[in-house]
Amino acid sequence: MQWRESMYRGVPSVVGESAELRVEVVPGRGGKVVSFISRVTGKEWVFQTDVPLEPLRYGMNWDDGDRGGWDEMFPTILACPCPDEPWRGTEYPDHGEVWSLPWSYAIEGDQLRMWVHGVKVPYVLSKTYTLQSSRLCTRYEVQNPTPFAFSYLWCAHNLLSIEPGMKVFVPAGLDTVQYQYSHRDRLTDDAYGRSAYPIVQRGSATVDLSFMEEPACGHAEKYWFEGALVEGKAGVVDPASGEALWYAFDPDEVPYLAVWANYGAFNGDYTFALEPATGYLDDVYIAKVMNKVASVAPYGRNQWSFDISIHPYKGE
């Protein structure tokens, strides 16, 4: 189980391999995971595009990048003002700061350590990857070097390579969602509208949100499960390969879960993301107003974990 330097589509990368997984990370492009392959079945779980890997620019729109991979969203998702003094009103860019920044990295034995510095607000966000057989373990830390508290929203923007009929599993009790967006008002025409989950009845149409839809249907939704999680587990099952991709995290550290589904509505992309998050809704300013946001104390450090594993589906 080792990490080694490599190249991905002409840009430097780092590859990690175990007996069951192959993972590839590109530090210079937001520290994103660009490949997550099961060595048992050969399935690539990461959504990839053929968009040229042009240099990223701080403050650019996320859609103007390559639109694939697993990015880190921090300290917000939507462009919005910072909610904290003395930076209050300073504008964060689309999808946060760190996805468009180059990350520093070091291979340290069986670990890959990566870190990046904030631009609008002083902070250091770091993550450490380790491979344990069929599991990629990630340990995050945000360091606040200032005498002021700092609010942040971290979200794992993990775009998956999907097929119609794949099944989504979320913890029991998550039976209502709040929408950030519904393409062409398919499921709600209200700002931050709500519905039941997984079955949504809208007029004469019935939608089961727990199954992947067809790539040509042209739908897209972003929604958040209402309420803090009591269990930190979520996953996707691929009936074709018989594999399940599972996320595990501590709900005390990462208490919220969102979904982004793009079934061809934007750029013709067909992808789906389960997104564990430290705050609620896409805007860190609004999350603080709602008191549903993480905060790191003056001169403090916050840590959290996020693990991804692949194994045969056993009817969990």
Over the stretch 13-28, which tens digit does the pLDDT of each residue have?
Answer: 999 999 999 999 999 9
- Give pLDDT tens digits for 220-231: 999 999 989 999
Give the model's pLDDT for residue 241.
83
pLDDT greater than 70 at residue 1: no
- Give pLDDT tens digits for 71-114: 999 999 999 999 999 999 999 999 999 999 999 999 999 999 99
Report angle CA 289, 294, 300 to the nearest 5 degrees: 125
Helix (H, G, I), strand (E, B), or coil: what is residue 99? helix
151: CB partners within 8 A, 6+ apart = 75, 82, 83, 84, 279, 284, 287, 288, 293, 294, 295
Predicted confidence band of residue 203 (pLDDT cuts 50, 70, 90): confident
- Give pLDDT tens digits for 213-255: 999 999 999 999 998 999 999 999 998 888 999 999 999 999 9
Dig out the tokens for 299 from the structure. 């001169």
pLDDT greater than 80 at residue 314: no
CA separation for the pair 201, 197 (Å, rounded): 10
Mean pLDDT over 279-285 rounds to 97
Looking at residue 155, its amino acid is: C
Percent of the chain with pLDDT over 70: 99
Burial class (CB in 10 A: 0-12, 13-18, 19+), 171: middle
Give the model's pLDDT for residue 235.
97
| Residue among 303, 295, 304, 306 nearest 121 (CA) | 295
CA separation for the pair 256, 213 (Å, rounded): 24
Burial call 265-289: b when 16+ CB within 10 Å, e when fewer:
beeebbbbbbbbbbbbbbbbbbbbe
Predicted confidence band of residue 315 (pLDDT cuts 50, 70, 90): low
Mean pLDDT over 57-61 rounds to 97
Beta pairing partners, 249: none
CA separation for the pair 162, 271 (Å, rounded): 6
Give the model's pLDDT for residue 123.
98
Average model confidence (pLDDT) across the chain:
96
